[in-house]
Amino acid sequence: MLNPAQKIAQLNREAILSASPAKLLTMLYDRLMVDLHRAKSAQDSANWGAAAENLLHAQAIIAELSSSLDDSAWSGGAGLRSLYVFVTQLLIDANIQRNIQLTAQAIELLKPLQEAWHEAAASPGGPAVQHAGVNVG
């Protein structure tokens, strides 16, 4: 019998495995924002270990988003990749310098993308994610 934490982990795995490419993308952005808000909260309370853990996980998500990006698939691909590189550096600096303002800046830059992907995923027929230069399927 599974304990509650194991049940939640199993449900999360099943949700990921059955998700559409658009849903996977929104799930990544949602988790990215959770990590950033947790990091910011940890920085605010000087819990540097928790801040570092969340900033590193956020960097891993951005690396995944960047690696699945096809720059040649759409005109905004190169710009989005540049944003991912910039935000990754912000998070590295936020971690090393223990700088909450840099974490807040990353949140401000990524929040509109999270919202845009959610809007696209909710639109009739959903987004053509692979035509937007993101290969998550």
pLDDT at residue number 23? 86
> What is the CB-side half-sphere exposure of residue 115 using CA atoms within 13 A?
6
Instruction: For residue 14, tell me if it sits in a domain.
Output: no
Domain count along the chain: 1
Q: Using 50, 70 and 90 to split pLDDT, how confident is the model at 105? A: very high
pLDDT at residue number 71? 87
pLDDT tens, residue by residue, 7-65 = 676 666 666 666 688 889 999 999 999 999 999 999 999 999 999 999 999 999 999 99
Task: Answer whether residue 74 shows pLDDT above 80.
Answer: yes
The beta-strand segments (E) located in the chain are none
Instruction: For residue 97, tell me if it sits in a domain.
Output: yes
91/39 Cα distance (integer angstroms): 10
Give residues with Cβ within 8 angstroms of 38, minimum separation 6: 50, 54
Instruction: For residue 6, tell me if it sits in a domain.
Output: no
Q: How high does pLDDT run on average in the chain?
A: 88
* CATH, residue 59: 1.20.120.340
CA triplet 4, 7, 12: central angle to 5 degrees? Answer: 130
* Dihedral angle sign, alpha carbons of residues 63, 29, 57, 43: positive
Instruction: For residue 2, tell me if it sits in a domain.
Output: no
* Average pLDDT of the residues in 83-87: 98
Instruction: For residue 34, tell me if it sits in a domain.
Output: yes
Parent domain of 63 = 20-132
Q: DSSP state, 123?
A: S
pLDDT over 70 for what percent of the chain?
82
pLDDT at residue number 19? 65
Contact 117, 13 (CB under 8 A): no
